[in-house]
Amino acid sequence: MEMKKSRIILILLLTFNIYSYAQQKPFMDYVLSWDGHSSKLEVELTYSAAQKDSTVFIFGDPNFGGQTDIFKVVKNIRSNAPEEVKIDEANRRITIYHKGAKKHRLTYEIDGSLPVDKPTTASQTELFRPVITKGILTLVNQLFALDIIDGSNPLVSFSWRSYPENFSYFNSVQPSQTDPSEKISDYYNELSELVYFVMGDNIEVKEYSVMGIAHYCVTTKEDKYGNDLQENLSPFFESYFPSIHRFWNDNDFPFYFLVITALQNNQKELGGGGFGIKNGFVMKLGRKFGTREKYVTAHETAHSWTGVKIMLGEDSFDHQWFGEGFNDYTTIINLAKSKIYNEEEFLHYLNEETLKPHYTSKIKAVHNDSIAANYWTDYTNYGVLPYRRGLIYAFYLDNQIRLASNGKFTLRNMLLDLYALRKAKKNDDILSVDDFINAGATYLDKKELAEQIEHHMIEGQPIDFNKVKLIAEFNIDINNNIPKVNLTEGADLSKIYQW
């Protein structure tokens, strides 16, 4: 009997120790509340404390969407006694002194209101500012969650305590989960990719199956610009996404989503600006969804590969001619392949949006190193440069590979080889320009490739199309040193670009 009793005690002790260990694992539990019509989001954070005396959080990032006065966004920060809160506005630090408290809870509010005198300016310069207004909420975790600096990698969860029951709801972690009161969780280091929430009475969520992968289309139902966004976006799900998945031979996504919501508070119309999130793209739209918005949606979603899964160099600025320019080329050929762009729109982007402004640019021949230094201060000139350089070179290279192989191979074959090399490397190994050259050397002369990249992409000298031969489906006119590409009679974009 004593032996049995001892076993019971031992089992209880082991169970208690396992339970205690589980309880000690770092966690951050966010509980959110919104009434559906105000501009205030209430946040309650319960968390574990790795340090006994205090915990330090950082809120916001001035580089993330332009918000500089962070503490006009996060307000009424409070903890439970005996804990005390100290705020360092200059460094955006929120320090909680625990003073022996065993449980740790912080409450605060996020103010999503826009300045009444300049709502358009705020919409343009603070792209990532949360939209919290009557009938609609769009929210990124970086705009309400706190950055913990204790080095722990806590399990972070989000759930909603109070919300309008009849509102549509979408989250970017588990899109199939449509009940806001259910927790969604992920580890802290995984959340650097951003989490996006959408809630509203004017929100529609439609699910598609693309190549066997769940794709979600999240839009406002009605807006003041007369858009039917679900109708506008259906061609992307029906033809563009299948096309670009096939281009890369890649279905390695758990899901994908587009969120496009129309701004209602701007004083004048503005374009569509957005940002990529893990497995998705988000756009704030300020006008009629047109040709430009088609391009932006296609370009940004194409970054799921070029610039994200496959990138040259340590940083995206190292070789933006590839990350942006080659992405632009894969964008427009897939727009053409999926017939979202017709021949006129394709040629307009190639000629009027790329070749003409590049060959008339006063800085077209600057060195690649100068782009990063001037990117943000002179985006009009320097920011667009790698897009144009890279697209023009990609178009040129595609033609040369087709000619050299008598149409057997295209630039796609080279990019697939480069992608295979990327996947074969360790995660911390980068793709280099030499890797790019070696991939291209299967199809073209290696020495010539190296010289082209150095001369045109690094030193910045424009390609002289007077000396360039293109495939029979294209011809080129040059007036005042400005090249213009045309389709020859009978040429068909859908046959040129097929995979």
Across all residues in the chain, what is the average pLDDT?
Answer: 88
Q: Are 77 and 106 in contact (CB under 8 A)?
A: yes
Tokens 């204790």 locate to 150
Which stretch of 151-155, 270-274, 336-340 has the lowest confidence by average pLDDT?
270-274
Integer distance in angstroms from the first to the last C-alpha of the chain?
A: 76
Structure tokens at 172: 């970017």
Q: Which domain holds residue 180?
A: 28-115+142-164+176-188
Residue 84 in any domain: the answer is: yes
Predicted local confidence at residue 455, as pLDDT: 96
Please list, in sequence order, all residues whose beta carbon lies within 8 angstroms of the beta carbon of residue 216, skipping any fewer than 6 positions away.
170, 175, 205, 206, 207, 208, 255, 256, 257, 258, 280
Predicted local confidence at residue 91, as pLDDT: 87
Between 3 and 42, the higher pLDDT residue: 42
Residue 253 in any domain: the answer is: no
Are 184 and 329 part of one and the same domain? no
- The model's pTM: 0.86
pLDDT band at 27 (very low <50, low <70, confident <90, very high): very high
Residue 252 in any domain: the answer is: no
Residue 288 in any domain: the answer is: no
Contacts 24+ apart (CB under 8 A), 172-177: 172/196, 172/197, 172/257, 172/259, 172/277, 172/278, 172/279, 172/280, 175/214, 175/216, 175/255, 175/257, 176/214, 176/255
Contacts 24+ apart (CB under 8 A), 97-102: 97/53, 97/54, 98/49, 98/52, 98/53, 98/54, 98/55
CA–CA separation, 434 and 386 (whole Å): 19
Q: Is the pLDDT of residue 7 over 70?
A: no
Residue 43 in any domain: the answer is: yes
Structure tokens at 490: 């009978």
Number of domains in the chain: 2
Q: Are 218 and 259 in contact (CB under 8 A)?
A: yes
Which has the closest alpha carbon to 494: 243, 257, 230? Answer: 243
pLDDT band at 12 (very low <50, low <70, confident <90, very high): very low
Q: CATH number for the domain including 60? A: 2.60.40.3650
Q: Are 179 and 201 in contact (CB under 8 A)?
A: no
Residue 131 in any domain: the answer is: no
Which stretch of 179-193, 262-276, 310-324, 386-400 has the lowest confidence by average pLDDT?
262-276
Predicted local confidence at residue 220, as pLDDT: 93
Beta-bridge partners for 41: 110
Omega into 82 within 30° of 0, i.e. cis?
A: yes
Predicted local confidence at residue 193, as pLDDT: 67
Which stretch of 13-17, 58-62, 104-108, 272-276 has the lowest confidence by average pLDDT?
13-17
pLDDT, mean of residues 265-291: 81
pLDDT band at 56 (very low <50, low <70, confident <90, very high): very high
Q: Are 277 and 196 in contact (CB under 8 A)?
A: yes
Torsion of CA 320, 322, 323, 325, to 10 degrees: 90
Q: How many CB atoms lie within 10 A of CB 446?
A: 12
Residue 23 in any domain: the answer is: no
Residue 204 in any domain: the answer is: no
Q: Are strands 74-79 and 155-162 parallel, antiparallel or unpaired?
A: unpaired
